[in-house]
Structures are given as structure tokens and as C-alpha cells.
A and B are shown apart, each in its own frame.
Chain A
Amino acid sequence: MSLLTRNAVLALGITLLIIGTVTYAVHYMDQQRLADITAIEARLSTDTLSLETQFSLLENAPCENLSEGTSFSKELSDLGDRLSFAEGRLGSNDPQVVQLKKEYVLLEIRDYLLMQKLSKTCAVKPVTVLYFYSNAGDCSACDRAGYALSYLRQTYPHLRVYSFDYNLDLGALKTLVAVEKVKDTLPAFVIQGKLSYGFTSLTKLEAAFPKSAFATSTATSTVGTN
């Protein structure tokens, strides 16, 4: 074997080794990220179940546990950020991402329902927004709407924004869509129970909120994965 051939073959082997190592390292980190999300979801699921069980035991809303709900919402918000990051890296069609997203949506719906119950019996009136978007390329205004909601959520911390991928194949989400009568004209918003479609500007979106939504408060928020 000539020097050239030997070096060429050796270089190919080393190159494949470098690329294989890089691929493995990146895959390993992505799997660790997904495992991290799974662990957070499992913990939040247990917390939700605990709060719901308390609700049932007391046959009333455990208003004193609202502070727990606050930290819960922060964790849900952090989970949304992580899931969004993982989705950006692995793609929205990755089976593991889709599964985690479904579990996240379930947690969001359960938190939303719990907040509905708490608001009826406790002295708290959170302003909730259900935001339906699509990542399928059929919603040109969704990115703008999502960004505007992120701004509103940060500016007015007691807004509770729940984001849902309209196309996610999940029974509970389909039921929510049916209950709220949301059509596939996206983006869609359910603000304090009132349904609206489309996004043109921040000003018009703000106009859809009750004035109390923009009062200063210390309540918390929840983020989605759009």
C-alpha cells in the first residue's frame, strides 16, 4: 500500500471516528435533555395530582396552598421553555418531543382547570388566556402572536397564558378545542372565556383583555411552547 493510500484510508477512519464521537455526544446530550424534561413532567404531574387530591379531601379549594400553585406555575413555565428549546433542536416531529409535548399540554389543561376552580372559591381572579397556534406552516401570524403574548406575560405577571399546538393529536386537547368552540383559523385566543381569531398588532390584542389584566400584581404565569 502506498503512503498516499495508507494516509488516505487512515484519515478516513479518523474522520469517521471524529464525526461518530460528535454525533454520539450530541445525541447523548439531547437524550439527557429529554430525560430532564420527563423528570420535571413527572414531578409536576405528582404535584397536580396532590393538589387535586387535596381539593377532593377538603371538598373545597385549598386556598392556603395558592403559594404552592405559584411555584408550580413557575416550574410549568420553565418546563415550557425547556420543551421549546428541545423542540427547536430535535424538530417538532420528533416522536419523543411530541410525546413530551402531549404530557406538557395535559399538565397545562389540568393547571387551567385547577385555576378555574380556585378562582371560584378563593379570593383570586387570574386573567387566563388560551392561545392556540400551529407549527405546520399554515399560520403566518403565530410567531408574532406568540412573541406578543410573551411580552404581555412578562410585562403583566398575573396573566396566565396557556399555549396549545392546535394540531397536536391528543384527546384532551381536542375536547378543550370542542368545549371552547375553537375553529382552525389560527392564531386563536380565548381571553377570559371570550374567543377571538387572528393577530394584527399588540394594541389590538391588548384591547381584547379586561382592564384588570394590566393592573400590577404578583401572581404568576404559565408559558407554552410556541
Chain B
Amino acid sequence: MSWGPDLLIYPFLFIAIYFETFLLVTFLSAPARARRKRRISNSTPRVAIIVPCYNEERTVAATVKSLLALDYPREKLTVVLVDDGSTDSTPKVMAHFKEIPQVTIIRKENGGKHTALNAGIRAVPNAELIGCLDADSFVEPDALREVVACFAEPEVMATTAAMSVHEPKTIFERVQHAEYIFGITVRHILSTINGLYVTPGPFSLYRATVFEQLGGFIAAHQTEDMEMALRMQRAHMVIENAPRARVYTKVPRTLPKLLTQRTRWTSGFLRNVIFSYRDLIANPRHGALGLVVLPFALLSFASGVLLFGTAIFLFGQQTAHMISVTSGIPLSYTLAPRLHFGWFYLPISGLLLLSGSILLITMTFMIIGKRMSHTPGRLIPNVLVYLLLYGFVSPLWLFRAMADTVTGTHRTWR
């Protein structure tokens, strides 16, 4: 083995394998098994679901219809549609639902998603559980009962759902589909050790007392769902997960839009964790979140930046060397394939085998996620696209988010 920049990779491979193994061990532990056996709830507390909307004319109707189709007593479920100053025909689409007793419509000036959520919270003073559903997401009819079941435990203050991509068609939608399915398993596992640090917009529910105790949502660098979860964690509140509560969400269809969304998420994570919630990191009082989850999340960000930077450097170095060595030699010789066959020349290295182990565990989590949540659709083709593309595209938003955080740049939502 030669000493070079590629050796930087090994510590990160160790950390990645360790974290994935930790997740696997936790997945097999008794508390996780007990959560997977949790039965659907017959309990029917008063629930309000807030749908914040800003220019969602194309999807909001389907979102509301999926909420109205929830298997839940009508008198116990309120749907609050908050139009955050849309400039398209969102108000008209919302108006189609104004006659439905369950639906409350609020119109306000544009102030950002957090203000829309807070307006919705203020409108439902009698709700016991308050949830949100982004206006580009749709729930399965049994999703609410799955989520409500988690609140049978009195210490549970919020519950997240199992998100997946709504009808993935483009290459980047397929990449995200595999990623979201992976996220279903990870979210389930992290909830076992109260390690969740995001309560995503698509169908996270909170006890109403959370907002009474901690206050409403704040802008939080355009990641209000992450900030709320971190605030709850700081207050030692328990965030659960319902892995069979299926919610489907629309995701960016193209690379530029995906880049915009992920830059927002990643820079939001960096700003929230480093600037506002640094005290949680490596803090034993916050258990797995402080000691394992947040440190690993920061390390995985650093490793993404560092490994991609190293890969670019090595690729540039090798390319320059190859151009230098082959200059003056006929291209017919340089480009001719020279393959060696037989076991002797198998390119098996520690790097390859360790990376393979990580991918194998990742794929295992994806298969588990799909089966556990009963998410429909084909997974394997999307996993293959994910394996081919994700490693190349994710560093783009990591670098961009790092640059934005360092320079203090703030971008628009979309």
C-alpha cells in the first residue's frame, strides 16, 4: 500500500461502516422489534393537520383529498389550509373545499412557511395533536391511525411518518426514491434511541403541548422542521416514528431543482446545528443524538466534501500524468483496451471491499425500508440508479451548502 491522499479515505470508511453497523445492531434490538410490532390505534384524539401553501395550485387539491380520505372520525379531524399569500390560483383551488365542515381556510400575507404553520396552530386551540402536511404530499388512508398509535406512550411528543417519492419517473426522482426508502429504515432505527433531529413537513404530528411549552415554528434558515426537532431534543422530548404511516411526496424532477432543495437542507442543517444547537453535539445528556447521530451527521458531511475533493484531485493528477505519458504515442495504441484476465489481476483491494460492505448494508436497509413500510413500486432499478449517480451529485450540494454557510449566503426557497 502506498502513502498518498487516497489514505484519507480509510478513516471515513471505518466511521461509515461503524455507523451502519450501529444502525443494524439497533434495528435488531428488542426496542426496535417492539416498535415494529406496534398495532394500529383505535384511539381517536382530536387531530388538526395544517397544510401550508405557497403557489401549490397543481398539488394542493390532491393533498387535501388524501387528508379527507383518512380513516379517522370526521368530527375528530380538522384540516387547516393556510394560503401564505400565493400569487397563483391556489386560493381558488382551496375554495373548492370551503363547504366541507372539517376544512378551515386561512389566507394571509406571505411570510414564509413557519408563519403559515403558526397561523394554522393558532386556529386549532382544541386540538390534542397537531400535524403538518406539505401541499405537495399525499397520505395513505391508514397513515393517521399508524401515527396516533405512537402517542399511546405518554412521553412521545412528536411522531414522524414513512416518506417515499410519489410516482418516480425521471432519473433524479428515482435516485430520491431509493434514498427516501433508505431513510424510512434509518428514521425507524433512530427513533428507537430517540436520535431523530428532523420532523419533516410531510405528515409529522406533535402534541399540542409541544407548542405551548416551546413556542411555534421559527424561520430557522428555511429548515423549520429541523429546528423544531432540535428544540424538542434540547428539551429532552421524545420523537417517535411510525414506519408504516405512508406519505408520498413530490420531489425535484431535475438536477438544478434538486441542487436548490438539498443546498437549503444541508446549509440549514449546518447553520442550525453549528450555530444554534452546538451544545447538543457530543453531549452525553442527549444520549445517542448527542454522542452518535449528530457527530456522525457532521462527519458524513465532512467526509463527503473531503472524499469528493480528494477524488477530484486524484482524478486530475492521474489525468495530467496520463496525458503527459501518452503524448506523442499514437491514439490507436493508447485507446486500445489491454485487459488482463484471471484471478491474479482481479482489482480486489481493501478500499473496494470496504466500500462494497457499506453499499451492501445500504441496500439491505433499502430493502428493509420497502418491506417494513409496505411501500408500493419497484425498488431495485431505482437502487441501481441511486448507486450510479448519488455519489456524483450529492457532493455538489455539499460544496454549495458549505460555501453558502461560510459566506453567509441565503438563497430563495425554490
Contact = CB atoms under 8 A, between A and B. Distances in A.
A4 B60 CA distance: 42
B18 interface: yes
A36 B292 contact: no
A203 to B, nearest CB: 7
Contact of B22 (A8, A19, A33): A8
Interface string B372-393: 0000000000000000000000
Contacts of A148: 328-329
B14 A22 contact: no
Nearest to B18: A15
B285 to A, nearest CB: 13
Interface in B351-366: 353-354, 357
A29 B193 contact: no
A81 B325 CA distance: 18
A125 interface: no
B36 to A, nearest CB: 16
Contacts of B333: 151, 154-155
Contacts of B62: none
Contacts of A89: 1, 349
Contacts of B354: 18-19, 22
Interface residues of A, number: 34
Interface stretch (B23-31, B66-74, B100-108): B23-31
Contacts of B409: none
Contacts of A8: 22, 292
A10 interface: yes
A46 B354 CA distance: 41
Nearest to B193: A4
A82 interface: yes
B256 interface: no
B328 A26 contact: no
B345 interface: yes
Interface of A: 3-4, 7-8, 10-12, 14-15, 18-19, 22-23, 25-26, 29, 33, 36, 81-82, 85, 89-91, 143-144, 147-148, 151, 154-155, 201-203
Interface of B: 1-2, 14, 17-18, 21-22, 24-26, 29, 31, 193, 287-288, 291-292, 321, 324-330, 333, 340, 344-346, 348-350, 353-354, 357
30 contacts: A3-B31, A4-B193, A4-B288, A4-B292, A7-B25, A7-B26, A7-B193, A8-B292, A11-B21, A11-B22, A11-B24, A11-B25, A18-B17, A19-B17, A22-B353, A22-B354, A26-B349, A29-B346, A29-B348, A85-B345, A90-B1, A143-B321, A143-B324, A143-B325, A147-B326, A148-B328, A151-B329, A155-B333, A202-B328, A202-B329
Given A11-B22, A36-B344, A85-B344, 18 more contacts: A4-B287, A7-B29, A7-B193, A8-B22, A11-B24, A12-B18, A15-B14, A15-B17, A18-B17, A18-B354, A19-B354, A22-B353, A25-B348, A25-B353, A89-B1, A144-B327, A154-B333, A203-B328
The 4 closest A-B pairs by CB, nearest first: A11-B22, A11-B21, A22-B353, A15-B18
